[in-house]
Amino acid sequence: MLFSPRKPALSFAVPALICLAAAACGAPAPSSQPPAAPPATAPTNQTTLLAEIKANDAGQLAVSEEDGRFLRVLVATRGTRRALEIGGASGYSGIWIGQGLRQTGGRLVTIEYDPVRAKEAAANIARAGLSDIVQVIAGDAFVEIPKLQGTFDMIFLDAWKKDYKAFFELTFPTLEPGGVFLAHNVVNKREEMGDFFDAIGSAPGAWSTIIAPSGEGISLTYKGR
């Protein structure tokens, strides 16, 4: 197993991370969903929009730019078709994921607990021209996730750290074989989630590792076929 919960591996270079995401994790099973339609209106320049969201992120809830770029490449290279994000904040990471899904014809459901941030996320995603790709749900993810139909081939978790283990146990059964479960802040906030490390490290048929495009860290758990 490529996983050490107490001493996260920080020596990976970014090219190696891309190889890990695209090759070692494999491609998900084909989806029957139709390709995404192009946006109905011309989007705001996404580079400018992302910089604006990041500049206004007073609570520092958004992922780093490096992590966002990694998520976009991961989504595109794996051919992700149906993704779930838990903890959407103001839509920053949702836009990066949405960019990758535009290439694959996939969809993202992102859930944000705070109604004000959820409204901001929906507005930012609309400005990015990704409303046809990304669905924003305002509410408690523990309540909203059981309402969702079907399975996912990628799950990205960036919520309250004390809830990571519970979210993993709730959503991992909905992850398709060959899919990946990712969790953010596993390096800089690792002391807050020891039980989560135990859970992903002992999940039957799963392989886990920690990667660090930035100093925040992302755990990546692959669900065996």
- Domain of residue 175, CATH code: 3.40.50.150
Burial label, 114 (beta-carbon count in 10 A; 0-12, 13-18, 19+): middle
- Per-10-residue mean pLDDT for the chain, 225 residues long? 42 39 46 45 74 81 91 98 97 97 98 96 96 98 98 98 97 98 95 95 96 92 95
**How confident is the model at residue 214, as a pLDDT?**
86
**How confident is the model at residue 17, as a pLDDT?**
42
**How confident is the model at residue 30, as a pLDDT?**
45
36 domain-assigned: no
**How confident is the model at residue 41, as a pLDDT?**
45
**How confident is the model at residue 33, as a pLDDT?**
46
Structural domains in the chain (count) = 1
46 domain-assigned: no
Rounded (10°) CA dihedral 217, 54, 121, 69: -50
44 domain-assigned: no
Confidence (pTM): 0.81
55 token code pair: 């500049």
35 domain-assigned: no
Give the structural domain span for 207.
14-26+54-223
**How confident is the model at residue 26, as a pLDDT?**
52
**How confident is the model at residue 73, as a pLDDT?**
97
49 domain-assigned: no
Instruction: Name the region of 29 (left: φ>0; alpha: ψ -120 to 50; beta: rest).
Output: beta
6 domain-assigned: no
Residue at 146: amino acid letter: P
4 domain-assigned: no
**How confident is the model at residue 213, as a pLDDT?**
87
Going through 22-124 in order, the beta strands assigned E by DSSP cover 82-86, 107-112
9 domain-assigned: no
